[in-house]
């Protein structure tokens, strides 16, 4: 496109006319927005304890990692200490870990069901 063609197009001041029904659709949308209920606020009072607990657990984990890495000097890893008695057989040690995992899973499941039951979700 040449400059003189562009000047000719821009020199004409054509009136823009909206399509039929445009004004009524816009006004209907504005009225719908005015009548709509306000958005549901986020339940910060219920979420804050979980957020704080997660922050504490992450901080504690970071501190434990640093303590583990620098326990005997710069990046000298040591053998982890045994948590169970030496008299237990390997099968019994694994059973203990399995039972602990099942107990933690059951406790968190019951807590979640209880919290959901209070809110009326169940």
pLDDT value for 6: 83
Q: What is the pTM of this model?
A: 0.35
Q: Which whole number is the average pLDDT over 59-63? A: 92
Read off the pLDDT of residues 16-33 as tens digits, 9 standing for 90 and up: 788 888 988 999 999 999
Query: Is residue 47's pLDDT more than 80?
Result: yes
Query: Is residue 13's pLDDT more than 80?
Result: no
Read off the pLDDT of residues 62-115 as tens digits, 9 standing for 90 and up: 998 888 777 755 555 555 555 555 555 666 778 888 899 999 999 999 888 888
pLDDT value for 83: 56
Q: Residue ranges per domain, the chain?
A: 42-77, 87-122
CB 110 within 8 A of CB 122: no
Give the Å distances, CA to CA, from 56 to 45, 49, 52, 64, 66. Answer: 18, 10, 6, 12, 15
């Amino acid at each position: 496109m040449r400059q003189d063609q562009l000047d000719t197009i821009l020199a004409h001041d054509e009136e823009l006319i909206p399509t039929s029904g445009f004004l009524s659709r816009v006004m209907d949308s504005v009225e719908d927005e005015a009548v709509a209920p306000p958005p549901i606020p986020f339940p910060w009072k219920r979420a804050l304890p979980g957020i704080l607990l997660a922050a504490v657990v992450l901080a504690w984990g970071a501190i434990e990692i640093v303590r583990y890495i620098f326990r005997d000097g710069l990046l000298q890893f040591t053998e982890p200490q045994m948590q169970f008695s030496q008299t237990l057989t390997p099968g019994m040690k694994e059973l203990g870990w399995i039972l602990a995992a099942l107990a933690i899973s059951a406790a968190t499941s019951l807590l979640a069901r209880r919290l959901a039951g209070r809110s009326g979700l169940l």
